[in-house]
Amino acid sequence: MPRSLDALAQRLGLRVDSAALLVAITHSSYAAEHDCSSNERLEFLGDAVVDLAIADLIVTGYPTLDEGSGSLVRSRVVNEEALAEAATKLDLASFLRVGRGELKSRGLERPSMLADAFEAVVAALYLERGFERARDFVREVLGDDVARAARHPDEVDPKTRLRQWAEACGLGAPTYELRASGPAHATVYEAVVSLGGVVRGVGQGRSKKSAESEAARAAWEVRDDA
């Protein structure tokens, strides 16, 4: 069963009986089973609000970044993996209302569902408290990610960097094996990356992509030993 909305509403600064918040945590699978509104329309709105909030932060907070670098920073922060991580920080999975089929198939672990829920919650905040509060909330949750990306806006992501190096060295493309542990609302993934059949790195994360990125980063650090 989903948790009471009290904690999430308090975190957002919304009323516990907020109609928009209730819709924001309602997946289409639950809506279909209970004949109620899903969060799909709010996700559509939230996508635009998050995008604008991050663009606003980049322009006002990082005046040395030009348009191209700013676009790269935004793309590294406003994407499914990053927004799913943001949802995980908020423990959104424990509040979401999903259908029986999604529960059985561990849908609450899917980054796409978590990212969509984050956008929907931002939209609910925008509708009830206005853009400034929604912007401030997005900054609170994603500000550190923007700061990291802004330090090295042209940096290639760890998986791409490792693959390019491995292929150039004749080792072939890296392969990843994933294991999951923990409850559905707090799953931890462990990724093991191999090059030429030899394990080169291990990483953990709250999403599959983040675990693979950490494994690729670990492999990159010992690449001279390959």
Active site (catalytic) residues: 47, 119
- DSSP 3-state assignment of 66? coil
Can you read off the two tokens belonging to residue 15?
């009323």
How many other C-beta atoms are found inside a 10 Å radius of the C-beta of residue 86? Answer: 23
Can you read off the two tokens belonging to residue 163?
């693959």
Specify the residue for token string 């920073």.
73
Can you read off the two tokens belonging to residue 217?
């980063």
Alpha-carbon radius of gyration of the chain: 19
- Sheet strands (E) in the chain: 175-181, 188-195, 198-205
Sheet holding 175-181, edge to edge: 175-181, 188-195, 198-205
Specify the residue for token string 């990125």.
213
Can you read off the two tokens belonging to residue 110?
């899917």
